[in-house]
A and B are shown apart, each in its own frame.
Chain A
Amino acid sequence: MSPARALLICCLAAALCTQAVVAERQVVLVAAATSPLHDLDSLELRKIYLGFPVRRDDRMVKGLRNTGDDDLNRIFLQSVVAMSEKSYMRRLLSLPLRQGIPRPSEYDEPEHLLNALSRNPYSVTYMWKHAADRSTDVKTLKVLWQQD
């Protein structure tokens, strides 16, 4: 093998590895694989997780919280609702108190989260991209965060 060819193969391998690392450090918005949802912009997503009504096909879109991973939770707070944990907790408490709207459900266990997602096609959640890629039960709607 010529030195040039070996160098090219090394570069390609390095690029693939980098891609793999980047893919692992992405957070994506997902819905059930059978969900009719396909377009939710950042403002709508923030509204969903702050308890404002967002409808598709006259059905309220529900946001499920994935609370099993501290890093994921921190990224969600920064990238989706743009609030500190304390502020967000207070905002969520005001939903049932002021408007009679229950807070978004929280799930620590991935299988419980996936079950809840599959039960309601008009619900969304967020997870690491590698976890979404591994599951056939979900489809990715958009990338919410990517490590620089």
Chain B
Amino acid sequence: MDTTKRYWIVSALALMALFNTPPARPQGQQELLLFLSAGPSYHDVSPDDGPEDYELFLDADVLYSYLNGRFRLLGEYAASTDELELERFQLGWQSGQESIGWIGRFHSPSRYWNAIYHHGQFLQTSISRPFLEQFEDDGGVMPTHSTGLLFETAHKLEDTADLRLAISAGAAPTIDNDELKPFDLLDPGSSNRAAIDMRLAYLPDQLDENQIGLSLNWSELEVDGNHDAEQQGLRRVEQLSVGVYLDWRRQAWRFLSSVAAVVNRMKRQADNQTDSFVSGYFQAEYELRHDWTVFGRLEQTNNTGSSDYLELFPHSVTDRQMLGLRFDLARQHALSLEVSRAETPADGDFEQYLLQWSAVFP
């Protein structure tokens, strides 16, 4: 589908969201949401070295959900200064009180950050995402989208505790030029291979959101369009990542953290080679009075210099020390400021300044 048509679609959906009043029908129930965010960013590196030194970004995310009895439909379309993409399109059937099966394109369940925020930038306290949670087209080196089957279920433990499992099998992204390229429902390719994802979460209180969990992803990433990789005779990468995560709130504090070990089996024409790296982040948020929130994040990745796999993504931010401030205003709007010291394998250290307005409608 060409860019103009995609713009027309997303504009129509955005207008519908702005004037949407969900009808209360006895059978079906639907909702259209529009998440908007915009602002300037500045990096103190020259454009030749990688990221643009000054950018103005604008993101619109349109989300449609429909519920009728046990049937659910969820669609999410993102339009920004960088991309136009059908992010999610999934049909679900609730098979029991706590179980649902989905078919379609969805966010990989092994990435917890994506599972809670998706593209709803307004809900996310920080402006930037950690390296482990980056989307494929924004420097992510692990799959964040899959197309296939997803099953989610919950099992009640004693008292109020809950054990939740999400498991999926579907099409993995391919390795394109400088980025992973997930399967596109509107422009399906044929070189996507398999991906399996799993997230297991323990919640001490099923109605609360505090949780700790395990995540696992196995993907076959076919090289398709990455000239450097093709010249080196790289055909595909078998990637396994195993991680743990934590999301915990206590009074005015919130802590979000994840660590994952990633093993990459590089399948070349001549020989196979294996490399690995470990990446993690710890984000703390503190809600001050009068709708102010102060937050910070530390993230680090080891083996960035020796991983052949990471060399395929030279401009991905692998390390970061960040501080930020957010102000929530008028219920559905927020202003955020973020200052980072970031590092990429190709560009080394640089400073990054982000300012963002974000909102949700209606």
Contact = CB atoms under 8 A, between A and B. Distances in A.
Nearest to B32: A96
Nearest to B160: A43
B24 interface: yes
A32 to B, nearest CB: 11
A94 B97 CA distance: 19
Contact of B120 (A43, A93, A120): A93
Contact of A119 (B24, B98, B331): B24
A102 B207 contact: no
Contacts of B30: 102
A91 B317 CA distance: 30
B92 A100 contact: yes
Nearest to B33: A96
B31 A102 contact: yes
B65 A101 contact: yes
Interface in A96-114: 96-103, 105, 107
B123 A90 contact: yes
Interface residues of A, number: 31
Binding site of A, secondary structure by majority: helix, strand, loop or mixed?
Answer: helix
Interface in B7-60: 22, 24-26, 29-31, 33
Contacts of A100: 65-67, 72-74, 90, 92
Given A52-B207, A89-B331, A102-B29, A94 B123 contact: yes
A68 interface: no
A97 B22 contact: no
B331 A55 contact: no
A124 to B, nearest CB: 13
Contacts of A138: none
Contacts of B291: 86
Interface string B256-283: 0000000000000000000000000000
Lowest 7 CB-CB distances: which A-B pairs, in order?
A100-B74, A102-B31, A96-B65, A116-B24, A100-B72, A120-B26, A100-B65
Interface of B: 22, 24-26, 29-31, 33, 63, 65-67, 69, 72-74, 90, 92, 94, 97-98, 100, 115-118, 120, 122-123, 206-207, 209, 291, 328, 331, 360
